[in-house]
Structure 1
Amino acid sequence: MKKYWLMTLVAIFTIFLAACGGSSTDAEDVTMPDNPEDLEGDITIWAWELEANYLEQDVVPAFNEEYPNVNVNIEQSGVDQVYQKVSAGLSSGGSGLPDIFQVENNRIHSFTNEFPDGLTDLNELGFDEHEDKFAESKVEGLKTDDGMLAAAPRDLGPVGVMYRTDVFEEAGVDPASIETWDDYIEAGKQVVEHTGKAFLGMDNEGLFRIMLQQQGAYFFTEDGKLDLTSEEANNAIEVIQEMRDEDLLVYTNNWDGQVAAMKNGEVANHPGAVWWSGTMIEQMPELSGNWDVFELPAFEESGNRAANDGGSALAIPSASENKAAAYAFVEFASTDVDSQINGLTNRGLFPSLTAAYDEPIFSEDQEYFNNQPFFEKFAETIEDIPPVNHAPGELEVRSIMESEFESFLLEDKAADQVLSDGQSQSQQQTGLETSE
């Protein structure tokens, strides 16, 4: 009788352990079949609007031609909803999570830091053979300190200065003459004097982040310490302060305000990521032919003129019950050139897969952008984008700096005070050490 109860308890305990651990497999236990038709089962993906549409309409049909027995279910939610559900699932040990979810570079380390075993190392499934096919800055931003690749690179946001060709012409400004931020400011004075328009609009700390990255710096050092009072940060905010003092800036309040300022001709240019092109074409079609782009100005002659703003990736939770099919889909979605081009053409999603840059669309003249090879101009900057550390506390720091820049733009707060207050508030909120 005692033996019977002992066996029963062992069985119950075994079932309990299995329930706690879920039925997922470790990455090293996953076997990818040689024949794609042998891969089967269902996978679920969480993503938000543009990426969800890209995956469902541009990727799934092509993927199923190669993997006909994998059923892909795309669940579209808002950005915040995806993150909330992922956090809840990881907190509960993987319960209710999908097989794949979309994640931004600036959010990936929030998950890997809080849940170090929550995501699959894609290199253990074979993605290391693809790493050199992508922009270095993109791949490095998706790795943990110990070299784990937490997500597969998808789109990114190389930065340029989109400008009104008609306004620059009226002011007598040749964009080719703008090589440094000093040149940019002088051009701004000329535009304001001759046209009465503001040179550019600002609604947050975005330009500051762009300027930091082009110098190879960011909110954090490589080892994760706060670095808001660095030499690079001072370089950036001094340029922005000069713009403010010369009355080149207009405060545009928010995203909608920035779009309206560009649409209504209130501003003459916008330093921003390539993905702005989709919004411009959709919301200001009447300005077709009146926009073009030039490289981000450098801080010194022959200095770096490249930076990135935005972009996302595809991660596989460790709790996925069909890692083989999930990995096959992630690999296909990020490395299939035709799918990448469809994403760019149909949705303005700029690929991080460098082989895509050899496709005709990159060298084709775009009617909306002054009949110039708009996408090629951005692609030419990719190799020069410096990798930066998107540490776990980035969103908190960005929120703090957004408030600081609001005070800077609306209340004339001193530039050095913006940086010192931002650093101290960020330290209090995140608990991170500060750089010396």
Structure 2
Amino acid sequence: MSLSRRKFLAFGAGAAAASTGLSGCGSRSSLGGSDELSMWTWVGSVNDDLIGQAEKAIPGHDGLRLSMTRIGSNYKTKVLTSLAGKSLVPDIVAINDDVATYFPNADQFHDLFELGAKERESEFLPWKWKLGVTPDNKMMAYPMDTGPTALFYRTDVFSKAGIDIDPAAVAQLAPDWDTYIALGKKVKQAVPGSSITDNINSIFSYRMAQQPKRYMTVDGQYIGDQDHVREAFDLAIRVVKEGLSANAQDGSTDADAVVTNGKLVAFNAAVWWAQLGPKNAAPKTKGLWRVTAAPGGAGNRGGSFLGITKYCKNPEAAFAFISWLESAKNQAQAFLDPVLFPSTPASYTDSRLAAPDPFFGGQKIVEVFAESATKYPGAYFSPYDSIIGAPISAELVNVEVAGKSPDQAWNDAQHQVERELTRAGAI
């Protein structure tokens, strides 16, 4: 299956508009007064202290201030609807890790290269920088945080299994997924009920997060039926078949429970899981967790961006603001609250990040995630990744929960992907 440049542009102008209610009507105007830059984002995406400074005055532009709105639900739909009407559009918008799904609407955003972004490129992780650049080499989105991956594990449980709990030793014991499975089996034998993943989709997602390619090529060729995806699919099923999954599906009440009750004793996850997982769901395990290099290599899952819309009142001031907000110094501050891992390598040696983490036994966990972030090979995310990934994810759940045949699940997923891509005009 392939997506031509003509179809890609047609999708941006037509199909994407239809799917989000884009009408192309309305006056062209930005949101907010003439003395302010408006910004939309979601809860937990920026550091409040930094935003507070900009709300008094945009750095370098004393006559302007920031007016920020946090949108609690249906964020993406509201952004696209605003762009559709071309009226009361925010000057600046935050964009999640599905940035490529905005590419068909790239004409609604300023090309940041034209505002001076090239001069900042060397400050950022190369793979992160590329994710905000369209196939037509327009920089639509400026890097914010990242989601490097690593292996979290419980030292008390590993000790019971006779495993050296030193992070370097664990990394040597499980450098790849085969050895990770063997390690998980050893732990489960010593401590019955132990799991090394919350559910089947986590294994698939985090294995895909390590791959140098995903579901489509830059020129629109579908590759989601190739060996690298099937390998991740089969790996996830193998972990389940070995009895090493907690079968706590995403969105269920079990998701936190398996951390709270100690069933999930090791987990290959992104940096943000430290807060959402053990610190939130199992605070009494403080000091018992460690982090080391993930089996299978460096990966990334998550991370966001900032875009400046075409309706921005002062694009130069807006770019000055976002480049200030996402400087290495300020990204280091955003890691402290709300725990956003920087896309600027210079942040990794900042004393605020390099400090030992008491929850992880005094380990300097940032060092592990920094290595993952810098070693991650990067991969192309297409505008269609979400509609490709959904059927695969659903069929994996069918294998774990309903016992569906893996081959049948794979074939059914591929048929559904073909239907969805056809419906979207991609093939």
Same fold (TM over 0.5): yes
1:265 equivalent in structure 2: 262
Q: Secondary structure at the match of 1:45?
A: strand
Distance (Å, rounded) in 2 between the aligned partners of 1:116 and 1:360: 38
| Contact 1:228–1:422 under 8 Å retained in 2 | no
The residue aligned with 2:5 is none
Cα distance, 1:386 vs structure 2: 2.0
User: What whole-Å deviation, never above 9, does each CA across 1:275-334 have from its counterpart, x for those lacking one?
Assistant: 111223233221111111111112xxxxxx111001101111111122122111111111
2:293 pairs with 1:295: yes
1:180 matches 2:172: no
The 1:64–1:141 alpha-carbon spacing in structure 2 relative to 1, beyond 3 Å, is closer
Equivalent in the alignment of 1:248? 244
| Equivalent residues of 1:105, 1:142 under 8 A apart | no
The aligned residue for residue 28 of structure 2 is: 22
Letter in 2 for 1:242: R
Q: Evaluate the alpha carbon distance shift between residue 69 and residue 284 of structure 1 in structure 2; reply closer, same or farther with a 3 A threshold.
A: farther
Structure 1 residues 202 and 218, CA gap change in structure 2 (3 angstroms): farther
Does the aligned pair in 2 maintain the 1:160–1:378 contact within 8 Å?
yes
Equivalent of 1:414, from 405, 419, 427? 405
> 2:43 maps to what in 1?
49
Q: Which runs of 5+ in 1 are unaligned?
A: 1-18, 25-39, 299-304
- Give how far 1:152 is off: 0.7
In our comparison, the structure showing a higher alpha carbon Rg is 1
Counterpart residue number, 1:301: none
Q: Select which of 152, 155, 164 maps to 1:165.
A: 155
* Paired position in structure 2 for 1:31: none
Amino acid at match of 1:260: A
Partner of 1:130: 120
**TM-aligned CA deviation for residue 65 of structure 1:** 5.8
Match of 2:283?
285
Give the C-alpha shift of residue 253 in structure 1: 2.1
Cα pair 1:220 1:389 within 8 Å, conserved: yes
* Amino acid corresponding to residue 87 of structure 1 in structure 2: L
Contact 1:23 1:319 in 2 (8 A): yes
Q: Which residue of 2 aligns with 1:276?
A: 273
CA offsets, 1:345-366, max 9 Å, x none? 1211111111101212343221
Whole-angstrom CA distance in 2 between matches of 1:129 and 1:370 = 40
Matching residue of 1:83: 76
| CA shift in 2, pair 1:187/1:23, >3 Å | closer
How far is the alpha carbon of 1:434 from its aligned partner? 9.3
Indicate conservation of the 8 Å contact 1:219/1:227, yes or no: yes
Once the two structures are superposed, the pairs formed by residues 64-213 of structure 1 within 5 Å of their partners are 64=58, 66-78=60-72, 80-92=73-85, 94-106=86-98, 108-113=99-104, 115-174=105-164, 175-176=170-171, 177-203=173-199, 205-213=201-209
Moved more, 66-75 or 181-190: 66-75
Partner residue, 1:6: none
TM-score (norm 1): 0.83
Q: Which residue among 363, 368, 382 is the counterpart of 2:359?
A: 368
The aligned residue for residue 14 of structure 1 is: none
Sequence identity (%)? 26
Render the CA deviation track for 1:104-139: whole Å, top value 9, x for unaligned.
132x222221x2311111111001111121112211
Residue 163 to residue 374, structure 1, CA distance change in 2 (3 Å): same
User: Does residue 231 of structure 1 match 2:222?
Assistant: no
- Length, aligned pairs only: 389
Q: CA, structure 1 residues 426+203, in 2 after alignment: closer, same or farther (shift >3 Å)?
A: same
Q: Does the 8 Å CA contact 1:204/1:406 hold for their aligned counterparts?
A: yes
1:380 to 355, 371, 396: 371
Question: Residue 260 of structure 1: CA displacement?
Answer: 1.7
Structural RMSD (CA): 2.3
1:164-188 residue CA offsets vs partner (Å, 9 max, x unmatched): 1111111122323111111101111
Q: Which moved more, 1:426-435 or 1:252-261?
A: 426-435
Counterpart residue number, 2:9: none
Distance 1:355 1:343, change over 3 A: same
How many angstroms does 1:421 deviate by? 2.1
2:320 paired with 1:322: no
Q: Helix, strand or coil for the counterpart of 1:169? A: helix
TM-score, normalisation: structure 2: 0.85
Separation in structure 2 between the aligned mates of residue 154 and residue 403 of structure 1, nearest angstrom: 30
Alignment partners' CA distance in 1, 2:346 and 2:177: 32
Distance of 1:191 and 1:222 partners within structure 2: 42
Cα distance in 2 between the residues matched to 1:291 and 1:415: 34
**Alpha-carbon offset, residue 433 of structure 1:** 9.0
Cα distance in 1 for partners of 2:232, 2:285 equals: 31
Distance of aligned partners of 1:276 and 1:190 in 2 relative to their CA distance in 1, 3 Å threshold? same
- Cα distance change on mapping 1:69 and 1:433 into 2, 3 Å: closer
How far apart in 2 are the matches of 1:221 and 1:434?
Answer: 12
Residues 226 and 427, structure 1, Cα contact 8 Å, conserved in 2:
no
| Gaps in structure 2 of 5+ consecutive residues | 1-24, 165-169
Change (3 A) 1:384 1:415: farther
The offset of 1:23, in angstroms, is 5.9
Q: Is the 8 A contact 1:222 1:388 kept in 2?
A: no
What are the superposed Cα offsets for residues 242-284 of structure 1, whole Å, 9 maximum, x if unpaired?
2112111121022442222112101111111001112232332
Do the aligned partners of 1:89 and 1:95 also contact (CA within 8 Å) in 2?
yes
Worse-superposed segment, 65-74 or 243-252: 65-74
